[in-house]
Copies of this chain bind each other. A is one copy, B any other.
């Protein structure tokens, strides 16, 4: 009998990229065993997918409610311990809420819910449940991001005086200029995508990341969103001015119509002693910039890195790890929490990150709609 954590999966079947990402991430540290779930609402596809990925079908369920019902009949020692929610966004909240109410640990894709109100309810549920909850802001799992956070916490850059994130993609460019493609893109449909596209999808990553690495709280935002066409209801680009609780200023620049950009997420934190810079597309480099000193480029796996960074690297320097490894580190952190082992607060994003992310989205949209004014988060 395996002693791995029993993992259930909701969604992520078929060609789902997020499904691949979570399955691989869960396997990387030999900590999880996928035991079942619901991959697809259509039964044939659900069971077909389970076969395709070589999974026994005895715990593949017809739907979410049935899964909960049946799993609860199992003894605790056999029951799913963690359930990962990879479904469309509007299902995150009801599923997560019910899972928490029934004592399951939950790993939830972002955005955590479709509204701040839902997020607050979920937060309350978690308080009563006392289980582990993680929201997968994937990029926080990168070793050099963890190193960046730790260096800032250790005072390497001194007091932070500027926070800055750029997150530019171009994938909506061909869509936005083509009526048919646009109509078929769920992210551009407010019914399915919620109140925001660009901010909701990638702006939240930038927001969470700035708070993650700096450990500062962003207090207010002033946003200008960009819809390109008047008949487009969803933002596809936007700039957000920031102020933190302690008065630091900053900016988040996001776009999904930055034509030709892939997934160009850049994080920069400048302090009175030094600056730190990181780029997602080349994630194994962390740049330390100091007045009058040579630029230092830190890379994963070296002993000069902090414990939390090294814990997230599996191979020696020069063997590039990537985004699967980043998500795997989040799963690893959750495994520690589930197993009652010691772990650092930075090892996985939690409910508070999810709640704040939802607040950020709503306040950014509010700032824009009210004419680009400052709004408190």
Contacts and interface: CB of A to CB of B under 8 A. Distances in A.
Contacts of A258: 162, 164, 268, 270, 275
A20 interface: yes
Contact of A253 (B52, B253, B281): B253
A298 interface: yes
Contact of A372 (B4, B17, B323, B374): B374
A157 B372 CA distance: 29
Interface stretch (A109-117, A169-177, A357-365): A169-177
Interface stretch (A70-78, A91-99, A287-295): A287-295
B297 A295 contact: yes
Given A251-B253, A295-B299, A321-B324, A270 B264 contact: no
A104 to B, nearest CB: 20
A225 B30 CA distance: 41
A304 interface: yes
Contacts of A239: 239, 241, 249, 251
Interface in A29-78: 30-31, 33, 51-56
Contacts of A259: 157, 161, 270-275, 289-291
A294 B298 contact: yes
A87 interface: no
A226 interface: yes
Contacts of A293: 260, 302, 304
Interface in A220-246: 222, 224, 226, 228, 237, 239, 241
Given A239-B241, A257-B162, A263 B317 contact: yes
A353 B150 CA distance: 45
Contacts of A224: 222, 241, 249
B292 A303 contact: yes
B251 A295 contact: no
Q: How many A residues are at the interface, by size bracket?
A: 35 or more
A303 B292 CA distance: 7
Nearest to A33: B54
A8 B195 CA distance: 51
A253 to B, nearest CB: 6
B314 A20 contact: yes
A263 B280 CA distance: 21
Given A2-B55, A161-B228, A323 B323 contact: no
A339 to B, nearest CB: 12
Interface in A6-24: 17, 20-21, 23-24
A340 interface: no
A192 interface: no
Given A239-B239, A372-B374, 20 more contacts: A2-B54, A4-B54, A27-B28, A31-B54, A166-B166, A169-B318, A170-B270, A174-B292, A237-B249, A239-B251, A241-B372, A258-B275, A260-B295, A262-B299, A263-B316, A263-B318, A282-B282, A292-B304, A294-B296, A324-B325
The 6 closest A-B pairs by CB, nearest first: A260-B289, A263-B318, A262-B318, A4-B54, A322-B322, A30-B53
